[in-house]
Structures are given as C-alpha cells and as structure tokens.
Structure 1
C-alpha cells in the first residue's frame, strides 16, 4: 500500500462509480421490456444473464423446507442469534407518532404508518448473503410492513442458496423469487403477471441493480444507491499492524472497486501495516479481487496530529470507520461523518456485518455526510394531521388569509374565508 503524508489539501474522496452510458442504456431497455412484457421479459433476461431458464420464479415451500433440513445446525443457531441481536437493536428505533393539543379542543398530530409492501434485493451469483436477508427484512418487520418480498438471482441449478432460504425462513418470509439484476428491480417496481409491485425497494447489488434502482425512483421509493464497500481506520501507536491489515482486507475482498484506507499518526505503524497487507494478501483466498482493490483504492496516510486525522475522516465520510486509538471513545465523539463506527480493538467491522445487531446496509461514496444506514424509518411514512375547531379557525382565519394574499394566492385566502368569517357568522 502506498504511504503518503497527509496534508490539508489532500482529498480522500474517490470518484463516484456511476456507471457508463452503455450500462445505462442496457438498464433502460430492461426496464422498458419488463414493464410492457412482464414475466416473459424477466424469463428471457434471467436465461440471458444468469444462465437459467425458469418456468416458475417463485421459491416453493418445498425448496425452503429442504434447505432448512439440510442446513448445519450450528450455523442455524448462529443465524437465529444474529437475527435476535438485529431485532433487539432495531426495536429501539420504532416511532409512535404524537398528538399536540391546542386550545379550544383543536390539535395537531403525526401518524406513523408502515409501508404496505417492500421488495428486498439480496445479491447472489457466486456467493450467498444470508446476512443481507436479516439486515433488510428485520427493520421492515419491526416497522410493521405487511408484505415483504425477497428477490435474488438463481444459481445455475435454478435455486437460491440454502443459506438465503434458511435466513428467510427464520424470519417467516415465504414470498421469494429467483430473479436478479435489473429485471428483478423492474419486476418489483412495475409488477408482472407473477409478481405484484411494491412501494419501496431496498438492498445492494451490482452496477446494473444500482442503475435500475436509480431509474425507477419516483415510481417506487428506494433506500440508497450503494457503491462498492469502504473501510477507513483511524489508528495510533497503540494499534496492532496485523489486525489493521486484516480489517483492511476484509473489505478489499468484497470488490475490485472496494476502498481501504488507514489514517494514522504513527509512521512506524504505517510501514508495518503496509508490510502486513502484502503478507496477508498472499494468503487470502480472494487475493485477486483484494489485490486489485488495494492497488486502486488502498492507501495509508500519515497525519501530524489526531485532530488532523479526524478532520480527514470527516472529509472522507466513510461507510465503515474503525477507531483504534488510546482514547478511542473520546475520538469517536469527534467524528460527524461515517456510516458506522467501530470503537476499539475488539469491534472489527465484521462484528457489525454479521452479529452485533447494527445494520450493515450503509451509505457509501461520502454520502454519510447526509445519509444514514438502513433502519426502521426507511419502512414507514409520517403523515401529518390537523384538526381545527370552529373557534380556533375563527381566531386564525384572518392571519391565514393575509399570508395567502402575501404570496398572491387569492384562492387560498378565499378557501379559508369561505367558512363564514367574512360573513360575520362567527
């Protein structure tokens, strides 16, 4: 990994991976065809890109039961415990709405209403991601969503991975479809003969999935446009080089476009981490992917002070931030821009990916400056409620009418006056 002395004019932000015109054209064609041709288009694209011909997209109960029966019992217990942790954490996010009493029996209120139907996309292909099932489904369930639909690309045998089916079974999800890519996003957004449309789509995917989500936004809601994974580590002389290297590689192995950055005030630690990354890369099963990521977006920065290092972290606004310093909890309080923060030696990023309970669907590409990780609020609507009694209306109608006329909206003024105030009825 390259080592650079950090200066205030260095930008740690990487270029946005927004896809190219050719990819966008493909996505738009898929969306248009699925919208007009429904199941036939979904079936054709699944055969073309996933290499599987499916007469029936929906996962059968038999497939779910077989996956559960064949699944390792220790892993099953691990998934159940992880699901319990995630549910416990997300229950604290529930809102109840409120009612604000006014004079004369009037009131204002906010109602919290869960979305009726959401579609959750789980990446597939060469790997299985049961953790994505837990992280997307549980906040929706806690919010009270009635219909939760899961889609994921089928493998060559026309099935979803057992781990994905088992995770869904643990949560009681039975409506699942063996489709992926832009065609899955189109089916969820527009509906087909088999799949009823949803109100919101969440979950990460490849560039075609990301572009499709961006294109259907407005027809449905989406959670975010997530880019390749990122990790930043803030460390001082108290940290261990081998542990930092392992954590950097935990994200680099995700994708050739993944980002792994160390910011430290200790030059000797920087040099040791660079050596450790190279040593551990040679032992990593996904070395090819991780090496490309490290070469493209892997870097070590040496800061003069911890304050300069923290300022750099806030400028980067990383998806994941680990803090391994002597005063880690105190330093964490100074961080204002990060998708998730992991404090101390024993809180490595995978703890949050799988088990602790926090959500691993997080903002990338510096969008942590204004965005949050997936949470219960993503699956609710907030509806405002107004009730004015006759007396409250009478007290305020002249004020409302004057404000409407200030903006040149006579119709608004007349609408409030039509109740009788100008007629002297009150």
Structure 2
C-alpha cells in the first residue's frame, strides 16, 4: 500500500529505505569531493608555495561557484526533473575530481576545483526539494537528518583518506581515491533512488525566475533561516580550515595522518543530524535550534586550551552543534516554503556555501594576524549572531494555514 502512486513516503517502508540510502550516498559523495581537500591545505601551502589563506581557495573557490550555480540549476530541476539533475551532478563532480589530481599547476588545479563546484550544485537544493515533495511530514525530519548524515560521513571519510594517504604517499593519490569513491556513490544513487511521484515538470519561463526567488524574502521567517545558514557554515568551516595549521605546529607537532584522524569526529555529526532532526520533529524546531547553536559556543571555548584532548573535545562539540543546527534549519526551509521549494532550498544553500567560501577564507586573515585565538574569536562572533537569529525565529507565529496541521511546518 505504501508504494501507491499517490502516497507520500512513510518512515520504515521499502521506498523510505531506498530513498534514504540513495540520498545518503549522494550526500556522502558531494561532501567527500568538496571537503576532502580541507586537511590538505598545509600540504598545498608547502607544495605550491602559497599562504594559508590562498591554500583555502581549494575549498572556498568550489563553494563559491557552487553557491552561484545553485541559483541556476535549481530552477532547471523544475523542468528536467529532480533525479536526472542530481545524477548528472554526482557523475560530473566525481569525474572532475579525478581530473583535478592530474593538474601540475596551482591555477590549473583551482580551475578544475571551481568547475567541480558548478557540477556539484545539482545535488544539495534539489535533494532537499525532492524530500519535501516525496516524504510524509512524519518522515521529513529523519530523512533530512540522514541526508545531512551522509554529508557528515562523506566529509569525514574524504578528509581522513586524504590526510592519511598524503602522509604516506601523495595528496594526488588520496584525492584521486575520493573521486573513485564518489563515482561508485553516483552509481548507487542512480539505481536506488525511486522516481519522483509528486513532481510536476513545467516549462521554464526565465522572466519569472527572479519572482520565484524573490517572494521568499517577503516571508517573516525564511530570510532569517537564509542568514542562519551563512553564519553557521562560515564559522564551522573556519574551525576545520585552520585547525590543521595549529596542530602541525609546536607544541602539538602532529603528523598529517594524526590530523586526518581527528576528522573521525564527523561521526558525531552523522549521529547528531539524524537525532536532532527527529527531536525537532517532535518538540518543534524553534525549541531546538538555539540550543544547538549555544552548544557550538561552548565548544569553541574548549579549543582555546593548550591541552590536545580539550581541543579535540571542542571540535567534537562544535561538529555536533553545527550538524544539529543545520539539520533543523534546512528541514524548516522545506516546511515553511509553501511554493517554489527548490528555489527556497537553493537560496538557503547559496548562503550556506557562500558562508563557507567568504567567511572560510576571511578566517585566514584572523589566523595570520592573531593565531588560533583570532579564529576562535571570529567563530564566536558569527555564532553569537546566529544565536540572536535563532531567538528571533523562535518568536515567529506559526503560518496560519498550518496551525491545524498534523505535523507543524513553521
């Protein structure tokens, strides 16, 4: 009965398992491809003779091109369909990652990284729109959490593999292996994801695209959620961009393998995204979001210690905080946007990746001038702003048409 064409996908059904498996693999692939370079930034700085801030362009540049491309690719999914756009995105980003490791020059490598960001843009917002259309309200929190959990696992495995292999062989071999894994994930996605049941294609009228994006800014809550994504992701990426530089130097003097192993804490993000998404579905997003952000502020204080265990504990807490808050905010987008959900998701993710790009590189200035305390202070400022936004969101009245709904969306 659950497979009836007019039914939304319920948790625990075969279609739910197929969908979450496919999108978990897709999130894994996208984040491994994008963030596998993060522990390699000290290696890039040494190999290509560039500064820490310049080495961060290996991540910031694809995040910037991804953010901009989202605004174009997302409307195209309204014409071509959700699954085809996501599949092309996964295959193209995997192939470009494999090609990038063959580039001998820094500028050539950055060019292919920029193209990888454009290719990867077909997955994030479209996946959120797919889940919002196909999942029952009771399953949306868990399914979105599992999608983000795939992101977390992909980020962890990508960073871990790249760091370990760079230490024992070469960074090119490590990043090339990530590309191969991403290609396998794309194949799994193609075979596992059910076709859309509730998506209806319509001709693209490009003159109407600005209005389809613009009306989301008239909502009382969506612009605040968009701002939240920029602040949360920007602070989180700053921590991971520059913690490797700190731990490579005395008094820690860790190896590249040891620094890569620290990214195992991404497992905490995998768990927290699904758990927090489920809790938010039960208790309400406005009651959970600000608590998750407050946890991140506690985590950054721990990283100011000179004790390695305290620093790692702080990174764990920050990771739990970020993925929990992102799970809540991203699922909130899909429930609050009543029309043009792909566009709403793409705006959220555009700001999300711009935060990674702009704020992630800006953190390099703070690191260069004030060391780790500068990065921690920058993170703290961003997360205090995010906390104020979360408090503002908690005071929003529910959307009138949803007050009587079985599953609150606001």
TM-score (norm 1): 0.23
Structure whose alpha-carbon radius of gyration is higher = 1
More strand by percentage: 1
More helix by percentage: 2
TM-score (norm 2): 0.24
